[in-house]
Amino acid sequence: MSEHQLAAVDGGGSGSRVLVFRSDGRPLALFKGPPLNYAALGPSAFLRNLRLLLNTVAEGLGGPLEGYVFSLAGVSAFKRDVEQLLLSELHPSRVWLLSDIEATYMAAAFGRDAIVVSSGTGSFAYGRRGGREARAGGWGYLFGDEGSGYWIGREFVRRVLMYYDGRLTGGELSAKLLLEALDATSVVEAVSKLYTRYTSPRKVAKLAKVACRAAEQGCRLARELFEDAASQLYLMVSSVAERLGFGCGVHVYGTGGVILGCKQLAAALELRVKQEGGIFNVVSAHPLVGCVLYYLQVVEGFSVEELESINIDITVFDC
């Protein structure tokens, strides 16, 4: 295997990161840059941010790279346009373009026949079997993202308010923890802070941590919320499994900040998967790692077993 330097690029709505790696998968350096969500930025701003990021990398390395593997949020509907833009901007370097969903799948499943379900700020399920692929969810917070951190945070507040009204029971602890988290002395004050300070999906998703604490301390309202969230996520999994023809024994990998950080959600989802005969594991799946694994599989010809044996540790860069 010839050794070249390449770059894995994880471009999201709040920022981007570039992992420079060797063609054997060894990480070399990490750089940070501006957002690269094409759907949110549009062509002009996307290109401007891309050039800023590439300049940062070039200055840090002092030389060109052989190729770039991109994992970009918001790219699914614009993949052809973005690919042409990248090829034009980065010529003669080689370019591979993945959605963030595909990169997460590679990081979690190493390219094997399996389903990945993720609950972070948003949510989705994605699987591959026998060369076919299917996806469910990932449609954004306005019309989808059921079972995500945003969905859980919003539902938590909604149910606490219903408890306050007397429309739900079993929410005393949840209400107490929510007021503490917002540094509010009353529900009215809490609502005022929510409408002025929690105006983005990422902010609302942070409230999922409060809901998780309430569930861990035995609050019925919060525990039922996580059971509902697990049911929503499993609906995505079962939809993907049915379309791909998976039978019993399908491997399901759970990832994303909420599944990794909240045992209540992970346990409820594992129960649903196992009830249907599936195998469930919680894994950390970073899109940058997925980009590197994709390159090793598609270009260098690594098998699934060889990919599993590689340790791509990006935590050494304190990212």
Percent of the chain surpassing pLDDT 90:
71
Q: Is the pLDDT of residue 283 over 70?
A: yes
Q: What is the domain count for the chain?
A: 3
Residues 56 and 205 in one domain: no
Residues 181 and 243 in one domain: no
Find all residues with CB under 8 Å of 51, minimum gap 6, and list them.
Answer: 89
Residues 14 and 60 in one domain: yes
Question: Which pLDDT does position 162 carry in this prediction?
Answer: 97
The rounded distance, in Å, linking the Cα atoms of 200 and 3 is: 43
Residues 59 and 76 in one domain: yes
Residues 36 and 55 in one domain: yes
pLDDT digit string, tens, across residues 9-46: 999 877 899 999 998 889 999 999 999 988 888 899 99
pLDDT bracket for residue 242 (50, 70, 90)? very high
Residues 52 and 170 in one domain: no
Residues 278 and 132 in one domain: yes
Residues 138 and 276 in one domain: yes
Supply the CATH number for residue 138's domain.
3.30.420.40
The rounded distance, in Å, linking the Cα atoms of 43 and 202 is: 24
Question: Strand 67-72 and strand 16-22: pairing?
Answer: unpaired
Residues 126 and 265 in one domain: yes
Q: Domain range spanning residue 245?
A: 108-143+227-282
Residues 249 and 295 in one domain: no
Residues 166 and 48 in one domain: no
The rounded distance, in Å, linking the Cα atoms of 180 and 160 is: 13
**Residue 99 belongs to some domain of the structure:** no
